[in-house]
Amino acid sequence: MSKTAKTSKVLNILKYIINIPNVFFVGAVGLALYKINELALDPAKNQYLIKVDPAKGVIYQAPWAYIAVLVFFEALFLYRLFRGKKKFVNTTDLYTIVFAVFLFWDSGVKIFGILPFNLLPPPQNVFNVFTLDYAVMIDGFFQSMFLIVVSVGLGMGLGILCGLFIGWYQRAKEAISPIINLIAAVPALVYAPYIVAITPTFKAASIIVIFMGIYFPTMMNMVSNVQAVDAKLIDSAKSLNMSSLSILVKILLPECAIPIIGSLRIRVATAFLILIMAETIGANSGLGYYVKRWVAWSDYTKTFAGIILIAVVVTGINALIALFERKVLKWIEPQK
């Protein structure tokens, strides 16, 4: 190997080690360890704290959870850099932004004081909440997911069946569509306070509200999808003496499957929006209730932790739906 080739190889390796995301990562970890020598156990709270200015309420919590988050993102960065299919520039740009946000957030609170400590606590305080309130968060997650699964399942299932029927039978379409359009014109969130007030339990109210927000759009889209099916395909089925039920199940439903699956992410995102809003009205558990509770108590550390938890849950569900789409609709080219 020539000297030029060796030099090129060394430089190529160095660019994977010495780059902006890694520099920002080291800076973020270093800032997380700011005044770590003052970390001490507080017997009253049974927590390790860094009391910078207790009189003003400036207290830093243990940074280990925050550092674990930084290490997690660094591991993702290195994996995508060495093993991933993404381009070097795209990967470094993405994680430069991620680590820059963490660095600005932490330094803005601790060093420069441009971010108010009480309204925007340092990231180590926010992420430490997950080590303290994990039991409550896990319970809230399962409570919310139960409502999402039941309401979205019912809303999409009945919406598809009703839309299939109404779209196929012209008489039903002409009779029911004006009524459906009138009801669907009002957002489901508008009904939420009233439904919460009249239903016996909050779970029932949430399921009804989310169901309304999913059912009507799904049904209306299904009617449009049925109407858009090629008429020649239906005529061919009729020429083979297929019954209406067979046409609905074997022709129309498979033809409408692609837009149904394609709309799944939108439906789930809508369901979460409705659920979070509903939980802020009358719930005593769930992800939205967790945020609402600590906002009411002006505990913005736990408020931000709840917001981050919701973002992680929604992102994870969207990733699972995208994986499901790729497995079911294999002919669709994945996004690069």
What pLDDT does residue 78 have? 87
Better pLDDT: 256 or 317? 317
CATH fourth-level superfamily of 134-328: MetI-like (1.10.3720.10)
The DSSP call for residue 252 is: I
Model confidence pLDDT, tens digit, residues 100-109: 999 999 999 9
Residue 80 pLDDT: 86
pLDDT tens digits, one per residue of 265-305: 888 888 888 888 888 776 788 898 999 899 989 999 999 99
Rg of the chain over Cα atoms, rounded to whole angstroms, equals: 26
Through-space distance between the first and last CA atoms of the chain, rounded to whole angstroms: 35
Answer for the pair 248, 168: CB distance below 8 angstroms, yes or no: yes
Torsion of CA 31, 34, 40, 41, to 10 degrees: -30
CB 276 within 8 A of CB 289: no
pLDDT at 141 over 90: yes
What backbone phi and psi angles, to 5 degrees, belong to 300?
-80, -15
Strand partners, 48: 41
Which residues of the chain form CATH 1.10.3720.10? 134-328
The DSSP call for residue 36 is G
Give the residue among 156, 137, 280, 143 at the shortest CA–CA distance from 210. Answer: 156
Residue 332 has pLDDT above 70, yes or no: no
Secondary-structure breakdown of the chain: helix, strand, coil percentages, each rounded to the nearest 5: 75, 5, 20
What angle in degrees, to the nearest 10, is found between the helix axes of 287-296 and 300-328?
160
> CA–CA separation, 160 vs 183, rounded Å?
17
Q: Tell me the C-alpha to C-alpha distance, in Å, between residue 303 and each of 181, 212, 215, 279, 315.
A: 38, 28, 31, 14, 18
Looking at residue 270, its pLDDT comes to 87
Q: What is the model's pTM?
A: 0.84
